[in-house]
Amino acid sequence: MATEYAMCYVPWEGDGKTVKVRCPPRRNEIPEGCETCGYSQTNPDSELRNATPFSTVDECCPGVVDDDGYRFQYNYDWNIAKAKREAYPASKGSCWGWWGCDDGYSCQDRSWWGGGDCKISSDSKFLNEACSDNTQCNKVTSSSVAMACSRVSNMCLLKEDAAREHSLAGLSRKRCFCSLFDHWEFRSTLTGLISCVNYRECGGAECTLTTMDGNKYCHHTDASNAKCSNCRADDGVCTD
């Protein structure tokens, strides 16, 4: 007689139709004290995703992994709202000349004597908006969320999602070089032998020396003007 299994039940417990598969908490249900930074990934076509015979993680534990097989070990839904354009005022205070505006805002509509209004600058980009380099994605939003300009979609994404796109697309690390004529940035001028902000090869990301082969490579999801981490379990966590 063939063995019968019940979907989403543990086959080696009892009669195979009594004890349900235990699922890890969904990302938005992970207690803050249990969060860890980073993510795990399983090939969505792999048999390793099978929880029980003829059952899959997706069927038994919906919401635990996404369609690409990724599971983040923390919940950053809390700051996604802060990555969107509508979370910020289009105009914020007054200015004079080029002074008086917060990051990501510029002095616009100036009068003949130089006074104007601080408005979101044209090169400030927000979540899911088209971009050309990482710094555009970390201007107005930089105190609340860490983003990167994806090399695949050329859109501003949370840095973890950008890294996922890069991984799924099979992108390899990219060699880069530090040149004063590339970055025109004071800090990079002093540290250029080890690292620099690179726009030419890295799109505004860090270009950093590795001791493995003595070459420099782009850190594509690390923006030079990013200020915090999306993961609450990390140091320097983003705040509202």
For CA atoms 39, 44, 46, 48, give the dihedral sign.
positive
Average pLDDT over every residue of 184-208? 74
**Same domain for 219 and 132:** yes
Give the whole-angstrom CA distance, residue 1 versus residue 15: 14
- 36 in a structural domain: yes
The answer to whether residue 169 sits within a structural domain is yes
pLDDT band per the 50, 70, 90 thresholds, residue 99: confident
Record the tokens describing residue 179, joined without a space: 């040149």
d(CA 149, CA 159): 8
pLDDT at 11: 76
For 123, the token pair is 């090169």
- Regarding pTM above 0.85, the answer is no
Q: Are residues 71 and 142 in the same domain?
A: no
List pLDDT tens digits, range 23-68: 777 777 777 778 888 777 665 554 444 445 556 666 777 777 777 7
| Domain match, 71 and 139 both | no
- Report the 10 Å Cβ neighbour count for 130: 11
On whether residue 238 sits in a domain, the answer given is no
Q: Are residues 130 and 69 in the same domain?
A: no
133/52 same-domain check: no
Cα 49 from Cα 64, distance rounded (Å):
11
User: 131 and 68 share a domain?
Assistant: no
Q: Does a structural domain hold residue 56?
A: yes
The Cα 125–Cα 148 span in angstroms is 10
pLDDT of residue 1 exceeding 50:
no
Q: Residue 55: which domain range?
A: 27-75
Whether the Cβ atoms of residue 158 and residue 145 lie closer than 8 Å to each other: yes
Give the model's pLDDT for residue 48. Answer: 40
Residues 70 and 139 both lie in one domain? no
Please, are residues 127 and 157 in contact by the beta-carbon 8 Å criterion?
yes
pLDDT of 188 strictly over 60: no
* Residue 190 placed within a domain: yes
Domain for residue 152, yes or no? yes
Is 83 among the domain residues?
A: no
Task: Specify the number of domains making up the chain.
Answer: 2
Report how far apart the first and last C-alpha atoms of the chain are (Å, whole number): 61
Residues 207 and 135 grouped into a single domain: yes
Domain boundary among 13, 46, 75: 75
87 CB contacts (<8 Å, ≥6 apart)? 81, 141
Q: How high is the pLDDT of residue 224?
A: 80
Same domain, yes or no: 129 and 216: yes
**Residue 33 lies inside a defined structural domain of this protein:** yes
